[in-house]
Structure 1
Amino acid sequence: MAYVLSMNEIFISYATEDRERARLLAAALSERGWDVWWDREIPLGKSFDEVIEKALAQARCVIVLWSAVSVTSEWVRNEASEGKRRGILLPVFMEHIDAPLAFRLMNGADLNEWSGDRGDAEFARLVERVSELLRQAGDDSITDVTPVAVGQRATYKEAQTKWWLTPWSAMILAIVVIGAGVTGYLLRGDRPEPPPKEPTTVPTKVSPGIGTTDIEKRIHDLVGTLGGAIPATSLAKGFHVPDLGVRLAFLTPEQSASTLGAMPAGAVVMEVESGRPMAKAGVHVGDVVLSIGDKKIASEDDLRQAIFKIGPGKTRYSYRRDGEIKAVVVDCP
């Protein structure tokens, strides 16, 4: 008798150490009438990789259970990569950890404290998303799932952050808006300045500490000279790549011009963490990243997509520093 898999299948990828939690989730999903492939019992005469590949290929939804153990498993990473490639991957966080870099921009269900409760809000979110994927796959046997009102919340450490939460973010925020303030002042002449709307104040007395970069000092000088209020609507977005120890921000030509040359246009390196891969490769604050792998960085979307594709191993980066184009290969753990 041939080994046959149902086409209406959920594939659960997990580390062996997480087997009991995988069993608990599989049981809860099976109760809804779904065929869940999780128990990796291999039929006689079949090889492990052959069965896994066939089950994964026929799956319509891939759920990966991220834990401190599974993030280091090559098997789990490979299975998750296949699910992501096909657009059917659903991450589930069983512990408060960061997913591997290649999956870090994907939101997931937080089942860290889940003990099997079918009414749990995060489990309900997962069930809704599984239903959507199976419907998209053309499975007519999927019945409607009663929507559950659940507030959206990020369950992983997002690489894209709002800058007003960190000191380095105030730096780029300050230079972009301060430049705009200088330009506005020069163009305004003697006209009275209307009161600012909901300003976010940047301290005028900031003493650069030990190890402060030249760019930070220049920003400090600008802030000290203009001392101004910064509109809250001028917030920018940045990208933090923890595994590489780097923070990047994309500045448009208009934003760069508003800084009066303090910051260049493009994907600017805002922070390099000491001892991390980017620092070891010689990348500096103020460098402008031109390409990541084979992806040229010409917009914020380009930067986001390039970061999303970074995975373990070596990746080539090209960047500009003081008008000179340089290239470096960075090994991501």
Structure 2
Amino acid sequence: MQFIDQAEIEVEAGKGGDGIVAFRREKYVPAGGPSGGNGGRGGSVILVAVENLQTLLDFKYAHRFKAKDGDRGGPSNRTGAAGSDLPIEVPCGTAVYDAETGELLGDLVEPEQTLCVAMGGKGGLGNKHFLSNNNRAPEYALPGLPGERRSLRLELKLLAEVGIIGLPNAGKSTLIAALSAARPKVADYPFTTLVPNLGVVRKPTGDGTVFADIPGLIEGAHQGAGLGHDFLRHIERTRLLLHLVDVTADPIADYQTIQQELQAYGRGLADRPQILALNKVDAVDQETAEAIAQQLETVSQTKVFPISAVTRKGLEELLQQIWSTLDQFTSTQPSAQRGEQTVTG
């Protein structure tokens, strides 16, 4: 399945039905009055978040969506049928923007959460509404109003508790494969991972926690360099960042590069809780690994966890720290980083 996390669509609500001009023409009713009914309202366009979608791929092929128009009114004061609303399914985690103004219209996080993005037009009034003492036989009615039209930009931001970040070849895909049932592509060249990978890691209690392997960031990612500009948005919803640093590269410089990119991107990513892991310690001797870990702790002012995703060395201690941090963070800020909100149409 192709991973698409951005799309632009055109939506148009239904036009309201026209009111009509009609008069009562009944036997034994000598003074029949106006009886033109109102038009029905047009259908609205409503986005619905669903769990069984993980990509915006459907919108690569379908860009225009239009709800049904309302029916015109009928005689005998009958109101026309309303146009049916048009529901459009999107993945949970979809942020909806007005493509012209850039305004955030809604953030669909929870399953079955809805957002009305185009309101149907009101039905026109029939001539019965214009009856007055001065006008006993109005011969005019109002047309229905057009429905709203909008250009929308959809952005999918993955819903993961833990985002795994680091430079290319830091071992992110190997780690998520070691911790979960996910089987991302793993190779010894940069940018092996071209799309985010999700894996569910089980807590000791049996609950599942979603980890996201974010494609490699490089210097200048916030400005469009590498793959980072496309996928930095997926870190926005994570509660915790797991920062992997390759012990066989230049750990200090690599750490500082990622921190600078998070700071430059903004949106609070630099202030997000982080756990720092020094990966591939199986590739160097223990004395070297300990010395580098000590240097990294001095620079980062945080505890460093030496690990090897290949041999699984240090993973249990790392997971314990992750669970402990998530539990603390959840108790103080249960939904702040997930962007949870109630969206109504």
TM-score class normalised by the smaller sequence: under 0.3
TM-score for the superposition, normalised by structure 2: 0.24
TM-score for the superposition, normalised by structure 1: 0.24
Q: Which has more radius of gyration?
A: 2
Higher helix proportion: 1
Q: Looking at both structures, which has the greater relative contact order when contacts are Cα pairs under 8 Å and sequence separation is at least 6?
A: 2
